[in-house]
Amino acid sequence: MNDAPNDTVSHQPAPEWQGRSDPEDGARTLRLHHIANRDGADRALIGFACDAGVIRNQGQPGAAQGPQAIRQAMANLSAPEGLPGFHDHGDVVLAGEDPGPGQQALGLAVAGLLRDHARVLVLGGGHETAVGSWQGLRAALPDARIGIVNIDAHPDIRAIGAAGASSGTPFFQIHQTEPEGFNYAVLGLAAEANTLALTDRAQEWGVTVVADHALQRDAEAAFPAIDAIAARCDTIYLSVDLDVLPASLAPGVSSPAARGVPLHVVEAILDRVLATGKVRLADIVELSPPHDPAGLTARVAALIARRLLAG
């Protein structure tokens, strides 16, 4: 983290993980806080505390507080069978208005973590987090065919406007960098929340889209897209935007969904992607604690984070 591009970016060390203990019930009472920062763990976690992309996208700020809220909600969840531990590498913190320096610093950090860990989980931040996540994966695996699976109500392929890159432009930016190798699937897209210009761009770029309507009962409508991208790619970057969930379950996001995709469907999609064995990198984005007074969205994010660490 000493390579941060400028003084708007800093590194905040990981907080001490604390929570409940139940020694009276024996050895199998471990919770996530018990296995944080264990020696030899092959999973790593890092946060991206950034509001710049959401503000530029005319959203509601608060995403910079997301990483710590997710950690707090994770701490008392039971440690899953087969997960010996994980390393928490703290947060990349961006203080400026331009997300670019923070994304660059996050990419450097992710690339370093991928050299020593089988999987890295990034806690955002707005969806501008994706640029840093992807940069890190590409730096770590320069020759790999990368597939992107984004569970999201939006494709986030807006063109970069006068205000600059934002939380609405990350996959546009990735396409600009690698137009020929762009393997991208969006699962849970809400037609009403996206303009026809974005629909046209997705079609032009060959983006695979599975609508939220198709995912109301179960996840099977998404399985062919997942299997296809896994078959043609060497590794998968999995991104989870919490605004894909119904507002009743995830009110604490910049753009709550009136319909959304049910949690059990999102969990089944995650399991299908993880079952490919190709997920080296995942992130969870758009949690805005100021808009989540009961902490419900954070708790949902924590469930997803646990699944992504263990799966």
Q: Is 300 inside a domain boundary?
A: yes
Residue 23 domain-assigned (yes or no): yes
User: Which residue in 195, 289, 304, 192 sits closest to 245, CA to CA?
Assistant: 304
In a domain, 1, yes or no: no
The CATH code of the domain that includes 48 is 3.40.800.10
Confidence category of residue 6, pLDDT binned at 50, 70, 90: low
In a domain, 2, yes or no: no
124 has a pLDDT exceeding 80? yes
Check: CB of residue 208 under 8 Å from CB of residue 186. yes
Neighbours of 177 (CB within 10 A): 12
Answer yes or no: is 134 within a domain.
Answer: yes
Res. 7: pLDDT tops 80: no
Q: Is residue 110 assigned to a domain?
A: yes
Q: How many domains does the chain have?
A: 1
152 is in an annotated binding site: yes
Residue 4 maps to a domain = no
Question: What is the model's pLDDT at position 45?
Answer: 98
Contact 212, 261 (CB under 8 A): yes
pLDDT per position as a tens digit, 281-302: 999 999 999 999 999 999 999 9
51-73 residue pLDDT tens: 999 999 999 899 999 999 999 99
Residue 241 is labelled as binding a ligand = yes
Under 8 Å CB-to-CB from 136, ≥6 apart: which residues?
Answer: 106, 107, 108, 109, 110, 111, 113, 114, 120, 281
Q: Is 33 annotated as a binding residue?
A: no
pLDDT at 280 over 70: yes
On whether 212 is known to bind a ligand per the annotation, the reply is: no
Q: Is 156 annotated as a binding residue?
A: yes
Annotated binding-site residue? 154: yes
What domain range includes position 95? 9-310
Residue 170 lies in a domain: yes
Q: Which residues have CB under 8 Å from 198's CB, separation 6+?
A: 154, 155, 157, 158
